[in-house]
Chains A and B, each alone.
Chain A
Amino acid sequence: MRILLVEDDPDLARQLKLALSDAGYAIDHAPDGEEAQFLGETEPYDAVVLDLGLPKVDGVSVLERWRREKITTPVLILTARGGWSDKVAGFDAGADDYLAKPFHTEELLARLRALLRRSAGHAAPNLACGGLRLDPRAARASVNGEPLRLTSLEYRLLHYLIMHQGRVISRTELVEHLYDQDFDRDSNTIEVFVGRVRKKIGADRIETARGLGYRLVCPPGEEAGAPAES
């Protein structure tokens, strides 16, 4: 397993390099954002441990650029800022896990193991509709290459719609597939979720068939222009 360690503090970098090597990983070290950017784009890593406070280019920008370039390597971010807004920013940038400083080395190793185990799960084919793309393995979605920020219920709704694109799906059907049997939700709340998803992917992508249900629209022009690679 090959890991990229991005950490600017020399002492911490030395310690982590040692601990990760001891755990049996091959380690490359980048002391700043620029080098991390370059290494991440050129070398095939199995995972990245990324500090957010970096010289030259900060960690969030590095991560965002990787994700824009469709580099899906799992990323564990390290940061001194443990507030919720920082966590949200990290995950929105495309992080897969998050560890706030100070931490114990064992915890970092445990998280890394979990991350690698998860990414090893065999890949499922991407689902596409117009410029809309779903990656079921990472449970991520994007519109025209821009990552979408969805909660799991919203993701499930979109996933179901994209699996049955072009067909009108009734609210009852959606309720049945979105919630487990003991979720006490009535079909009215589907409207709320459809509203939220519309706001995120564009209002005209989900049509309302009055009295019948909803239908995901896939404009053929955009599909042709969308990148075929995933």
Chain B
Amino acid sequence: MSAATQRGASSLVRRLVLLAAGWSLAVLVVSSVVLVLLFQQAALRRLDQSLTELIDNLLAASTIDERGGVVGPALTDERAVRAYSGRYWQISESVADGATRAVVRSRSLWDSEMRIPREVLGALKEKPGTPVAYDAKGPLGEPVRTLASQATLPGRKAPVIFVAAEDRTPVDRDVRGFMAATATAFVLLGAGLVAAVVLQVRVGLRPLFDLKREIAEVRRGRAERLVQRYPSELTPLADELNALMAHNQEVVERQRTHVGNLAHALKTPLTVMLTEAAQRPGPLGEVVTRQAEVMRQQVDHHLRRARAAARTQGQGERTSVAEVLDELARTLERIHRDKGVTIDWDADEALIFRGERQDFMEMAGNPMENACKWCVSKVRVRADTAAEDRIRLTIEDDGAGLPPDRRQEVLQRGARLDETAPGSGLGLSIVDELARAYGGSLNLGDSSLGGLAVSLELPRADY
């Protein structure tokens, strides 16, 4: 059920999760990029620092001979001595049309020479004394961080350019390592955050799901009202729902009472008319008798209609099968005690009919009364669970039974098999109608006792 809630554009869960998760994921991505950049800058600054020191040392140790030539310093940094060690230096001088020529080189450069790009030369000329850092390729093609600085040495007019470079592969490796670690940590953190958000939303919205489930229970007839306690935000909603259900029931109940009162109020005058008419033989008496009978049928019909309308509104009605069978059995035995009818009924105490008590009484009572009328002495009533949500109610008698070709007849509205018997016929058409209204069914068959077996399938409520 929550899966259905999560799908669709207007899911609350989805909205909340997307909002919270989207924001935290964006923050995570931005901060990881910033962290990596900061780390890289710091590493490069340290590299530049050591290159600046190297240039300072070169500058301090370089001298000019009498002919104006540059004499390289005797720097003993072993890494600049070993060939292609990754740490290089070079002292260059400008020659014609913007080119440079190496005057002195570290031994590590071996016989290669570091070229100074034109734009670096331009920048150096513009701001003499300010070192310029840039990325270049080393003698082995490796990426090197390079620092160039222009200076004028005493005893020489033309400025010289000091260039120092160091392999930046270790720095790049460190940055990559840091990036991988950061990414791993942040992906884990992000996943954790999203999970936490989802959990929070689900837990936070649980009362909503509970509410939904409880409403479904009411609709299914397992409960009459919402009884769970909800958080203060949902309490008004639950209260309103309960009030609405109560109001619905009240309106229906009131309408039913009105119709019932009217119908019952009409019955005494009808009796008076029938009695009066019976005392005056002749055409007038006959017409009144006939019309009074029609009126009685109309009243009963509309009474049933009002009940049926009320039924569609009925929520959470439950009726104990055993209780009703007990009441009906002892009442019917009393009604038919001159005949000595024994009603043998059996039903599980826990069997619950999902529907209104009066309706169940009607559906069980009418066939039971028929059975009492037509039996020799015994009526058997059994109620059990037919399917998960079905009750099977079987009413049998030991009478003469009903031939199969006449069974359809008795289900017809108003049909009466024994026109001479008092009362309104078998009433089975009413039972059939009621059972259908409950999504159930009525079947007629033969009983092992010898008579008719009326079998009803009706909705069952849980527990």
Q: Taking the complex as formed, is B270 at the interface, i.e. its CB lies under 8 A from any CB of chain A?
A: yes
Contact A88 B328 (CB under 8 A): yes
In the complex, chain B residues whose CB is within 8 Å of the CB of A114: 338
In the complex, chain B residues whose CB is within 8 Å of the CB of A153: 342-344
Contact B268 A9 (CB under 8 A): yes
Q: Point out which of A101, A185, A192 has the most chain B C-beta atoms below 10 A from its C-beta.
A: A101
Q: B-side binding surface: helix, strand, loop or mixed? A: helix
- Complex interface residues of chain B between 351 and 384 (CB less than 8 A to chain A): 357-358, 361-362, 365, 377-378
Contacting residue for A101 out of B267, B327, B361, B422, CB 8 A:
B267
Contact B338 A101 (CB under 8 A): no
Q: Taking the complex as formed, is A56 at the interface, i.e. its CB lies under 8 A from any CB of chain B?
A: no
In the complex, chain B residues whose CB is within 8 Å of the CB of A18: 279
- Complex interface residues of chain A between 2 and 56 (CB less than 8 A to chain B): 9, 11-12, 15-16, 18-19, 53
Q: How many interface contacts (CB-CB < 8 Å) are there between A and B?
A: 109
Q: Taking the complex as formed, is A80 at the interface, i.e. its CB lies under 8 A from any CB of chain B?
A: yes
Contact B326 A101 (CB under 8 A): no
**A196-B326 contact, Cβ under 8 Å, with A80-B267, A87-B331, A102-B296:** yes
Query: Total interface residues on A, using CB and 8 Å?
Result: 43
Query: Total interface residues on B, using CB and 8 Å?
Result: 43
Q: Taking the complex as formed, is A164 at the interface, i.e. its CB lies under 8 A from any CB of chain B?
A: no
Q: Taking the complex as formed, is A177 at the interface, i.e. its CB lies under 8 A from any CB of chain B?
A: no
In the complex, chain A residues whose CB is within 8 Å of the CB of B337: 139, 152
Contact B292 A102 (CB under 8 A): yes
Contact B331 A91 (CB under 8 A): yes
Q: Taking the complex as formed, is B411 at the interface, i.e. its CB lies under 8 A from any CB of chain A?
A: no
**A97-B335 contact, Cβ under 8 Å, with A85-B361, A150-B330, A151-B343:** yes
Contact A151 B329 (CB under 8 A): yes
- Complex interface residues of chain B between 384 and 422 (CB less than 8 A to chain A): 422
Contact A19 B344 (CB under 8 A): no
Give bound CA distance, A192 to B334, whole Å: 22
Interface pick from A103-111, A168-176, A205-213, A219-227? A103-111
In the complex, chain A residues whose CB is within 8 Å of the CB of B269: 9, 11
Q: Taking the complex as formed, is B9 at the interface, i.e. its CB lies under 8 A from any CB of chain A?
A: no
**A192-B358 contact, Cβ under 8 Å, with A91-B331, A102-B267, A183-B378:** no
Q: Taking the complex as formed, is B272 at the interface, i.e. its CB lies under 8 A from any CB of chain A?
A: yes
Give bound CA distance, A107 to B274, whole Å: 12
Task: Name the residue on B nearest A98 (C-beta).
Answer: B335
Q: Taking the complex as formed, is A126 at the interface, i.e. its CB lies under 8 A from any CB of chain B?
A: no
Give bound CA distance, A102 to B298, whole Å: 13
Contact A101 B271 (CB under 8 A): yes
Contact B264 A81 (CB under 8 A): yes
Q: Taking the complex as formed, is B31 at the interface, i.e. its CB lies under 8 A from any CB of chain A?
A: no
Contact B333 A12 (CB under 8 A): no
Give bound CA distance, A15 to B274, whole Å: 10
In the complex, chain A residues whose CB is within 8 Å of the CB of B330: 91, 149-152
Contact B343 A152 (CB under 8 A): yes
Give bound CA distance, A91 to B263, whole Å: 22
Q: Taking the complex as formed, is B84 at the interface, i.e. its CB lies under 8 A from any CB of chain A?
A: no
In the complex, chain A residues whose CB is within 8 Å of the CB of B271: 12, 101-103
Q: Taking the complex as formed, is A230 at the interface, i.e. its CB lies under 8 A from any CB of chain B?
A: no
**A189-B264 contact, Cβ under 8 Å, with A84-B328, A84-B361, A98-B335:** no
Question: What distance in Å separates the Cβ of B293 from its nearest Cβ neighbour in chain A?
Answer: 8
**A118-B342 contact, Cβ under 8 Å, with A83-B358, A101-B267:** no
Q: Point out which of A18, A96, A152 has the most chain B C-beta atoms below 10 A from its C-beta.
A: A152
Give bound CA distance, A1 to B357, whole Å: 40
Contacting residue for A16 out of B273, B275, B344, B377, CB 8 A:
B275
Contact B264 A19 (CB under 8 A): no
Give bound CA distance, A63 to B444, whole Å: 39
Q: Taking the complex as formed, is B278 at the interface, i.e. its CB lies under 8 A from any CB of chain A?
A: yes
Contact B362 A84 (CB under 8 A): yes
Contact B274 A103 (CB under 8 A): yes
- Complex interface residues of chain B between 417 and 431 (CB less than 8 A to chain A): 422
In the complex, chain B residues whose CB is within 8 Å of the CB of A88: 327-328, 331, 361
Q: Taking the complex as formed, is B345 at the interface, i.e. its CB lies under 8 A from any CB of chain A?
A: yes
Contact A151 B272 (CB under 8 A): no
Contact A80 B265 (CB under 8 A): yes
* Interface set of B (CB-CB < 8 Å, partner A): 260, 263-265, 267-276, 278-279, 292, 296, 326-331, 333-335, 337-338, 341-346, 357-358, 361-362, 365, 377-378, 422
Q: Which 9 A-B pairs have CB atoms at the shortest separation, nearest pair first?
A: A80-B264, A84-B361, A80-B267, A84-B365, A102-B270, A101-B267, A102-B271, A151-B329, A15-B275
* Interface set of A (CB-CB < 8 Å, partner B): 9, 11-12, 15-16, 18-19, 53, 80-81, 83-85, 87-88, 91-92, 96-98, 100-107, 114, 118, 139, 149-153, 179-180, 183, 185, 189, 192, 196
Could you give 24 example pairs across A and B, Cβ below 8 Å? A12-B268, A12-B272, A15-B276, A18-B279, A80-B265, A80-B268, A84-B331, A84-B358, A84-B365, A85-B357, A88-B327, A88-B331, A92-B331, A101-B268, A102-B274, A102-B292, A102-B296, A107-B422, A149-B327, A152-B329, A180-B378, A183-B344, A183-B378, A192-B346
